[in-house]
Amino acid sequence: GATLGLLGGGQLGRLFVLVAREMGYRVIVLDPDDRSPAGELADEHVCADYRDAEALTRLASACAAITTEFENIPAESLKLLAQRLPVHPSADAVATAQDRLREKRFLRDLALPTAAFAAVGSAADLPVAAAAVGFPAILKRASFGYDGKGQIRVATATDLEAAFVSLGGVACVLEQQVALACEISVVLARATSGEMVCYPVAENEHRNGVLAVSTVPAQIDEVLSERALSMARSIAEALEYCGVLAVEFFVTREGELLVNEMAPRPHNSGHYTVDACVCSQFEQQLRALCGLPLGDTRLLSPVSMVNLLGDRWLQDGGIDWAQLYATPGARLHLYGKHETRAGRKMGHYCVLAETRAAAQGAARALDAALSPSTDPAA
Ligand code: ATP
Ligand code: MG
Ligand code: MG
């Protein structure tokens, strides 16, 4: 197989590298960290800044095509590489997803529903934004936020002013805080030919702004599920997207479906596809990148995925892995990160079972059993 270039060395990249190697491809990873999860498994690891001209030249000369696993890759670097070889997703698609304001305006132009929002460029914009959006609201940095970092909930004008200062006075989006019934996501793959395949909708539970559990099939009605799929498809069409795209949605208590945000890459809520689908989201990324026919997205079993955050490693008593190995249908994935930090994604596991309820029940039971000391009441 050919040599593929991957910008970003995190866990999404690692899972891509694993699939690519299994399929006979070589991978060169570019990441500034010399011990990144993907870089360590790659055939070659170029350790440099994403803007480093020499590093980009090395990738362009050695690779047949380039992809990314990290939405904050400078769009300029993607554009530069695209002058010499295929780059998917495109610099344009990545630029839209990496700026929350640009992303929201793009969605609005497509007439897709979002939570009410307003741009905040400077402190002078705060009163107007507050009047437009109302309270409660969430102030989010326009760029570089992830896992709920870089966003603050605000209930009053005073809160809002303080939040803007504590986010550093950078460009922000003020967003209406919606009352959620649940959260769902759609992961899809699209080829340059326009061919598109979607995975079934995942139902996601977040804790402290971080994805905690994804369960598939989602427990939502067929109409809602179809609407989510069709909105995700229209986003991919409008971006003339090539690669794997994830779209996160809010389902409000009133039953409304709102687009939250999108990710121009495989997504944490799509990890279940590795264990429970014919073709995983990472294989789709490779297929789309290499111009191969897209794979089968069929779900082979109900599944529930649980993220393993650094907190578990840091707690007294450690992790009772024996519980995981003893659970039928459970599969473990660890990312090989060298540094453990609270809130950091270190791995995940999936539990496959006969029904959605059984998968979710077993996943939750394991969640509690792995970390017996987290609940003081237990
Ligand atoms: P990531 O990119 O890791 O998914 P992020 O930092 O970009 O996260 P968001 O997706 O904007 O953050 O928000 C994280 C979570 O916070 C959401 O999944 C949801 O649970 C909650 N949240 C965010 N915005 C809103 C909102 N407007 N109303 C209600 N809840 C929200
Ligand atoms: Mg995000
Ligand atoms: Mg999100």
Is the C-beta atom of 310 inside 6 A of ligand 1?
no
pLDDT tens-digit series, residues 289-346: 999 999 999 999 999 999 999 999 998 888 999 999 999 999 999 999 999 999 999 9
Closest listed residue to residue 335, CA positions, set 283, 236, 249, 268: 268
Task: Quickly state the pLDDT bin for 373 (edges 50, 70, 90).
Answer: low
- Tokens describing residue 287: 């297929």
SS3 140: strand
- Starting from the CA of residue 138, give the closest ligand: 1
pLDDT tens-digit series, residues 157-188: 999 999 999 999 999 999 999 999 999 999 99
Q: How far apart are CA 375 and CA 124, in angstroms?
A: 45
HSE of 222, CA atoms in CB hemisphere, 13 A: 0
Task: Quickly state the pLDDT bin for 378 (edges 50, 70, 90).
Answer: very low
Task: Enumerate residues 6+ apart whose C-beta is below 8 A from 13.
Answer: 6, 29, 31, 36, 37, 38, 39, 69, 70
Is the C-beta atom of 203 inside 6 A of ligand 1?
no
Q: How far apart are CA 129 and CA 120, in angstroms?
A: 7
Q: Which of 12, 143, 151, 348 to mutate to test the pocket of ligand 1 (most atoms within 8 A of CB)?
A: 151
Q: How far apart are CA 235 and CA 249, in angstroms?
A: 13
ipTM, 2 dp: 0.99
Task: Quickly state the pLDDT bin for 372 (edges 50, 70, 90).
Answer: low
Q: Rounded to the nearest whole angstrom, what is the distance from the C-alpha of residue 148 to the centroid of ligand 1?
A: 6
pLDDT score of 371? 80
Domains of the chain, first to last? 3-87 (3.40.50.20), 116-176 (3.30.1490.20), 180-370 (3.30.470.20)
Kindly give the residue spans of alpha helices, DSSP state H, lying in the chain: 11-22, 53-62, 75-82, 91-98, 100-109, 126-133, 157-166, 222-238, 272-276, 281-290, 311-314, 321-325, 356-370
| 151 has binding-site annotation | yes
Q: Which of 250, 253, 258, 267 to mutate to test the pocket of ligand 1 (most atoms within 8 A of CB)?
A: 250
pLDDT tens-digit series, residues 92-138: 999 999 999 999 999 999 999 999 999 999 999 999 999 999 999 99
| 315 has binding-site annotation | no
